[in-house]
Amino acid sequence: MKRPRPVIAIDGPVSAGKSTVARGLAHALGFVYLSTGAMYRAAAIKALETKLDLQSGDLEARLKRMLDRAQIRFDGERIMLDGRDVSREIGAPAIGDLASRLSTLAAVRTHMRDLQRRMGERGGVVMEGRDIGTAVFPDAEFKFFLDAEVEVRARRRYAELAAKQEPITFDEVLQQLRERDVRDRGRALAPLKRADDAVLIDATNLDADQVVNQMKSLIAAGGNAGKGLKRN
């Protein structure tokens, strides 16, 4: 069945600027912004809270039970875990790392995919992540893949973490980003990759406003799929 409004998918590697751009685009179009990374990060917090053992057997079944009992949802742009706002906690590098590990597992991916499909089923969303255009909404009306050189992404990430006074050096950030790229791109299930029909935007030399403007122009030129969009 046709959705009343379009789904806009934005995928790309860590710290390519996806969140800022997706939020800006959602505001410009009057859409809801959904960060799927925040959902994986909330699952990581749940795993820590329930002292999930990643080593012992039966991990997939235990993960499924854990997620079936967890409530992960958005309240505006705040990510809620079991009714508690965890928007701040999810920003810690250790949570991002655990989220990346958990996201390689089938029980986690299936749960998140189904949840994300329900959240976006009526459209009017800008959904940002790694596999939105490939696995979650392969039929999204608009797909973008946002990339940038790894050093540029590391510089952005380092500035963000330094502002939060996280004790980490630039070289450590660069190293972590490289490892995360390898894991996100190399995993067997729904790896990070550009969908064949996604528009590639290289943000190495662009700021967020420039990227949002490019996306808005491409959407405006999008014919039928772009109908009904509010344009500022």
Cα(215)–Cα(128) distance, rounded to whole angstroms?
A: 14
SS3 160: helix
Q: What string marks each residue from 127 to 156 as x (binds ligand DC by CB under 6 A) or -?
A: --xxx-------------------------
* Sole window of 64-72, 80-88, 95-103, 150-158 interacting with ligand DC (rule: CB under 6 A): 95-103
**What are the C-alpha distances in Å from 29 to residues 4, 7, 141?**
15, 12, 14
Name the one range near ligand DC by CB under 6 A: 34-42, 46-54, 139-147, 158-166: 34-42
215: closest CA among 29, 83, 19? 29
Alpha carbons 16 and 184: distance in angstroms, whole number: 14
41 binds ligand DC (CB under 6 A): yes
| 99 is an interface residue for ligand DC by CB under 6 A | yes
The count of residues interacting with ligand DC (CB under 6 A) is: 14
CA–CA–CA angle 229, 35, 28 (5° rounding): 30
Query: Whose Cβ is closer to ligand DC: residue 87's or residue 100's?
Result: 100
Give residue for tokens 């179009």.
Answer: 29
Q: Mark 13-32 with x for binding to ligand DC (rule: CB under 6 A) and - for no binding.
A: -x------------------
**Which residues are at the interface with ligand DC (CB under 6 A)?**
14, 36-37, 40-41, 96, 99-100, 103, 129-131, 180, 184
